[in-house]
A and B are shown apart, each in its own frame.
Chain A
Amino acid sequence: MAGEADFFLEEKRFKQYCEDFVKHSQQIGDGWEWRTSKDLGDGYLSKTHFQVRNRHIPPDLKEKNNDDTEQMLFAHVEEPLDDSQAAGVCSTEEVVRYEYHVLYSSSYQVPVLYFRACFLDGRPLTLDEIWGSVHASYQDRLQEGPWDTITQQEHPILGQPFFVLHPCQTNEFISAVLGGSQEHHRHTNYIILWLSTVGPVVGLNLPLSYAKLAAEQSTDADLAERALS
């Protein structure tokens, strides 16, 4: 597709955008942190939170479902639960611990979203349970090619199994958002735009205040440039 190659991200830029992202996260208490690996100095963004999932199938989805796989849906929680709150959840609901990591792929020159999920007793979610929990609007794409969308892979820094949202899909999503040339968007925080687009596919939402950060950086940089010219 024309223009797909435009949306690459250099590693230095990636680190800078992540730094700004974490600063904003700290200001609003959104729980993201940057983790640096001791040996090579590369790193990744990390966030852990708990989500409540309701075990029920709404009537309209029941018709679509022709297999026995139980559809697990999210009840989006405004505030992420902490450990004490998680224990108080009643037994008809289930609490799932999600861990999200944002890494940089030098091969594709894009950020990549890794995540893993387990119940409170430590049992990890299976790939089927993960596929089942993908947001309803993305289910069609997932049915077409599950192996191209979310797969289980080895985390390149930790060496443990994680689920990964395939980088090929990143370009598809980002092309739609960053419609103009990369030149026009050179000051926009790529990480915020990217994560706000792909995160919801796997239950990760960014509070609206991040949009302010993206716009601020854009404005400041444009002002600086105009002052210099």
Chain B
Amino acid sequence: MEVFLRADLLCLTQTPKSPLVCSAPLTHGKRFQLWSLGFHQPERHLAKRLKHNSFYPFTEQQPNVFVLEYYLDTLWKGTLLFVACLVVVISVLMNQVQRQETWGIPAYGVVIGLWLMISSLPLRRLVLNHPHGTYHFSIQGRTVYQGPMHLVYLRLAFNSDARGRCFFQLVLCGYKLEPLVLLQLSEHYEQVEYLGRFIARKLNINYFDCLAVSYRHVVRHWPLRTNTDSTSIAQTRSQTYSKMSLNL
């Protein structure tokens, strides 16, 4: 089963590349593509998506310029929480419990849901510009950060449950970026690593393994050495290779 899936994944490299579509307007459906991660066999799900678009989740606007526009998944979670708690508040207001005002508890849910919804409504836009050597992250047109390419990376993250079973996920993160989970909770290390290296090669960004010190890192962009002070270079390296923070 695993060999068959590996061969299936390998055929990603053998399909001919589709001709470039220059300056096509980004469709609205692509903004929600990060929401569905596939619960059963997430590697096959991601491999299928990579077959359709080899620069998933980005789209190539110009040669070596990749653009990603997305909404955070807290949008639907916040909306769901808001609607559910609003229903509970209205039903609780109808009947009281022991002369206690209990509508306050779902009212908290309403406020939190509203906050999550409003904070995720602005559209996020991440642009990887290789000819310039910078990446640009903006929220609804307002620039959050623009920096060098070595600060964006793809990380294989590692989780384990109480019994010792290991779960891996692929996260695209960077400095002042929101971590984006591309593959969630898979147990097959080799397939996840293959997909991660494939995506990082296509997008030409760094790829890091789950351990902090490992021979499996692929570093394509190094931090710039601006001055000869060795301590600042060491600080830059430790910041670059520090462990990522998993999103909540």
Interaction A to B:
no
Residues on B close to A: CB < 8 A?
none
Binding site for B on A (CB under 8 A): none
